[in-house]
Structure 1
Amino acid sequence: MSPSPWTRAGAGLLVVVAATELALVEVFWLPLRIGGVLVPVSVVAAVAGNLLLVRLAHRVTGSRIAAVLPAVVWLVVAVAASIRRPEGDLLVTGTGVAGYVNLAFLLLGVLAAAFAVGRVLAAPRPELSRPAVTR
């Protein structure tokens, strides 16, 4: 017995919410330092999160469109964090070593999302059950 459309939609919504929360946490991890040394945890989390959440969204919903949503959500959060707010706040900066980590976060995160979406979209569709044609 396959899950109902409401169950699949709810599971897809949970994956999108998880993608949103993970993207926000990744942005706030960008300046993470341990003992004065910048630790690029957010870069690893962006790559792993985008690869896994796109695949998970496709698996739980069975929809290719729903599989794209975690990648789109990640991109929206990352771009929004790199735009200066009216108060002057800027989360993704571009100076010094932190600028290189931020650039790696954006580039590798987008590449991982594009790769994951490409794998989902390029996968063969499962055959629909068709009645056997007899002659």
Structure 2
Amino acid sequence: MRAKGLETAIRAGGAIVVVAAALLAALIESFLVPFYIGGIAVPLAGALAFFWNWGLAALGVWLVRGRWIVVLTALAWFAVVLAASMPTAAGSLVITSGFNGYALLLAGTAGIAVALWQYFRPRPATTPRPAAGSQAPKQAIPSATKESRP
């Protein structure tokens, strides 16, 4: 019974770590939206959002041993990004409506969508295959039976 409690604690700790990482990633990405090099908008926040969301989902599934952590990390990321894209009372925004802001929202959502597809897609049922070198059991061929016709 003690090992089961330790495993549950490790899974709960993993969930907390992954959700905290998703919150931190969304915060960092939000502040990287206005990233320009020589006056040209560089979608660094969008690229990071895609790979971090996908990677955090994989890390969460590995740590927690359950696929539902993907949904939890997605909700945490969306909460921060939506809060950062709403104007304050003074009218200031963290995520602006420009190329980089849209790239962040689109790429981050795409990273989450890829992770959701990866862990929640329907998989075909597999039938056991005979081992190499063994022969599959032979099925009897039904013989034609004589039926009496009236």
TM range (shorter): 0.7 to 0.9
Taking a change above 3 Å as real, the CA distance of residues 123 and 52 of structure 1, as seen in their structure-2 partners, is farther
| More divergent stretch after superposition (28-37 vs 111-120) | 28-37
Q: Following the alignment from structure 1 to structure 2, what is the Cα–Cα distance between the partners of residues 123 and 12?
A: 24
How many Å apart are 1:85 and its aligned residue? Answer: 1.5
Q: In the TM superposition, what are the counterparts of 1:1-135 in structure 2 within 5 Å?
A: 4-94=7-97, 99-122=98-121
The one-letter amino acid of 2:22's match is A
Q: TM-score, normalised by structure 1?
A: 0.80
Q: What is the CA distance between 1:123 and its match in structure 2? A: 6.7
Normalising by structure 2, report the TM-score.
0.72
- What's the Cα RMSD here? 1.9
1:21: Cα distance to partner? 0.4
How many angstroms apart in 1 are the aligned matches of 2:27 and 2:21?
10
Q: Could you give the per-residue CA deviations for residues 14-56 of structure 1, whole angstroms, max 9, x where no partner exists?
A: 0110111011000001112234433221111000001100111
Same amino acid, percent of matched pairs? 33
Contact 2:11–2:64 under 8 Å retained in 1: yes
Q: What are structure 2's unaligned runs of at least 5 residues?
A: 124-150
Runs of at least 4 residues off by over 3 Å: 34-37
**What is the deviation of 1:4?**
0.7
Given residue 11 of structure 2, which amino acid in structure 1 is its aligned partner? R
Gaps in structure 1 of 5+ consecutive residues: 125-135
Q: Write 1 or 2 for the structure with the bigger share of helix.
A: 1
Measured in 2, the distance between the counterparts of 1:66 and 1:15 equals 8
Q: Deviations over 1:77-108 (max 9, x none)?
A: 111111111232211112xxxx0121111012
What do the CA deviations read for 1:100-131 (whole angstroms, capped 9, x no partner)?
1211110121111112122112276xxxxxxx
